[in-house]
A and B are shown apart, each in its own frame.
Chain A
Amino acid sequence: MKQELRTDRLSAFYGAHCAIRDITMTFRPKSITALIGPSGCGKSTLLRCLNRMHEVIANTTVKGQVMLDGSNVYDSGIDTTSLRRRVGMVFQRPNPFPTMSISDNVLAGVRLAGDVSDRSTLAEIAERSLRRAALWDEVKDILNRPGTSLSGGQQQRLCIARALAIEPEVLLMDEPASSLDPISTMKIEDLMREIKTDFTIIIVTHNMQQAARVSDFTGFMLAGEAAPGELIEFDESSKIFTTPQDKRTEDYITGRFG
């Protein structure tokens, strides 16, 4: 299948400490996959392995494979800059660039790629991305104001627009709504449902209702006392949240756990 993303026996280490071990899972294209699990089970680590942001941290290593469209992203010939343009990322805390205006923030990635320099095309990209991120109506008259002048929820949607502007195939979101109020959270969930027709979305969340509401598939991860995080169960969200197969999954989603 096109734009397929999957991991094959993926393990990740911080120094000698193994954070996740032997994770094998396939992310269905054009759908939303949620990763849930208690704190420290390695959800962020797994997510960051998918676009090779894990290696940005010093002394980290990865074993196993991440296959994107049939080629291993950890192959030596793969260029991380082009990989990260195909697999975009939204962080837990909104991180707009404070010295850039709203539109410059959206276009930051496009300008990095450097393949568009025509003003009207750039303006079109900015508008399309902001519309997709459900922010256009709120900022269309203040595009020259700094990105940091927006509210937290708006900033996070700005960061989503920034990630969408480079037309990634996959969008990774690490607790994108955890620092936001319920209304902003709802807006982000709505826009995720909107854009999943164009992008493969993988979201880490601590909010079980959120996972149940927005995701098509859910993976439950768990780490032992000193053991690395593993994928316990992975299935359609409707199944995970109604008839989980594993006792530990059930304990977790019913709140009898950690």
Chain B
Amino acid sequence: MSQDSADLVSFRVARRVETGERARSHFADRIFSGLLLGSAWIILIVVCGLLAVLVKASWPALTTIGFKAATLAWSPSDDRYGVLSFAFGTVVTSIIALALAGPMGIAVALFLSELAPKRLAGPVSMLVELLAAVPSVVYGLWGLFVLAPVMRTVVQPALGKWLGFLPLFQGPPLGIGMLTGGVLLSIMILPTVAAIARDVFAAVPIEQREGMLALGSTRWEMLTKAVLPYARQGVIGALVLALGRAMGEAMAVVMVIGNTPAVSASLFRPAYTMASVLANEFTEATGQTYVAMLIEIGLLLFGMSIVVNVIARALVWSVSPKGTRAV
């Protein structure tokens, strides 16, 4: 064999090896993207399956009660299944929770990621994460035995005294009710906000911070004008996640909200939430419609969290400048 043809052969071999390798990596790529696509589908299927089961199980209620569910009165023994008071309770307690835990959580996160000395930030971060892992029943018991008395004897009288001109803070301080429920929820979701927001702040590039400092900003201005804006999408994400947890929380709320299907302007009054009525009444529900109605409440709660997520997505969209929108 001449040198030329030998070269040609080795060239061909080399080429074959190369294409073979490329084909193999192609194959691996395909398996990988197939796996990813598969997981994405599984999530979609689970969500749809969940929806289907909820609709099926609540079908008796959906057909017999229908739009009469959009009323206030809840009295299963009289066949009255209005769910608005539960929706009201869920919305009000969640708003209170977010209004308190949002700013607090962001402040804690800023403190941990920006201001606290390393020696302090480590242990405190761990504590915050630990708080997120406490079971909700434990929060509920703490709420009942510690928080409720404090609310009754200290917080609510004070609020009544100083802000009593607002309908929100009128009426007798019962210690049990929407305000206590919201405050308890805020304590429960605080770690979620703080832990996620801390990671989001820590991920803001050093160039952004130094860019602002080099323009002659104070540390505070650097935080508010460079770090917070850069991180705002992630912070909104943290708040939505926390809101989702607040809306879905049942056990802790059951213990402090008073479990009374009522709508009132005063936050001191007892109320009921969708998740807690489900947790509380499901085991004792008798009759097909009653059970189906409770499941319908679950379905509505599911729908509400979807709406909240959509709104949050829209919010993220509207705050991200044009041209840099990430879906």
Is chain B a partner of chain A in the same complex?
Answer: yes
B208 close to A145 (CB less than 8 A): no
| Least CB distance, A98 to chain B, in whole angstroms | 6
Report the separation of the CA atoms of residues A49 and B323 in the bound assembly, to the nearest whole angstrom.
37
| Least CB distance, A85 to chain B, in whole angstroms | 4
| Least CB distance, B165 to chain A, in whole angstroms | 37
| Least CB distance, A112 to chain B, in whole angstroms | 5
Determine if B4 is an interface residue (Cβ-Cβ < 8 Å).
no
Chain A residues within an 8 Å CB radius of B225: 97, 108, 112
Determine if B202 is an interface residue (Cβ-Cβ < 8 Å).
no
A97 close to B230 (CB less than 8 A): yes
Determine if B43 is an interface residue (Cβ-Cβ < 8 Å).
no
B321 close to A82 (CB less than 8 A): no
B324 close to A93 (CB less than 8 A): no
Report the separation of the CA atoms of residues A144 and B319 in the bound assembly, to the nearest whole angstrom.
14
The contact size tier of chain A is 20 to 34
Q: Mark B308-321, 1 if CB is under 8 A from A, else 0.
A: 00000000000111
Determine if B287 is an interface residue (Cβ-Cβ < 8 Å).
no
Chain A residues within an 8 Å CB radius of B125: none
A146 close to B230 (CB less than 8 A): no
B213 close to A84 (CB less than 8 A): yes
Report the separation of the CA atoms of residues A108 and B215 in the bound assembly, to the nearest whole angstrom.
8
Given contacts A95-B205, A146-B324, contact A89 B214 (CB under 8 A): yes
Report the separation of the CA atoms of residues A145 and B322 in the bound assembly, to the nearest whole angstrom.
7
Chain A residues within an 8 Å CB radius of B215: 84-85, 88, 108-109, 112, 162-163, 166
In the complex, residue of chain A having the shortest beta-carbon distance to the beta carbon of B226: A97
B321 close to A99 (CB less than 8 A): yes
B207 close to A95 (CB less than 8 A): yes
Determine if B212 is an interface residue (Cβ-Cβ < 8 Å).
yes
Determine if B266 is an interface residue (Cβ-Cβ < 8 Å).
no
Q: Mark A179-204, 1 if CB is under 8 A from B, else 0.
A: 00000000000000000000000000
| Least CB distance, A199 to chain B, in whole angstroms | 15
Determine if A51 is an interface residue (Cβ-Cβ < 8 Å).
yes
Chain B residues within an 8 Å CB radius of A109: 215-216
Residues of A within 8 A of B (CB): 51, 53, 56, 81-85, 88-89, 91, 93, 95-101, 108-109, 112-113, 145-146, 148-149, 159, 162-163, 166
Nearest first, the 7 A-B pairs at minimum CB distance are A109-B215, A146-B321, A85-B216, A95-B207, A149-B323, A89-B214, A99-B229
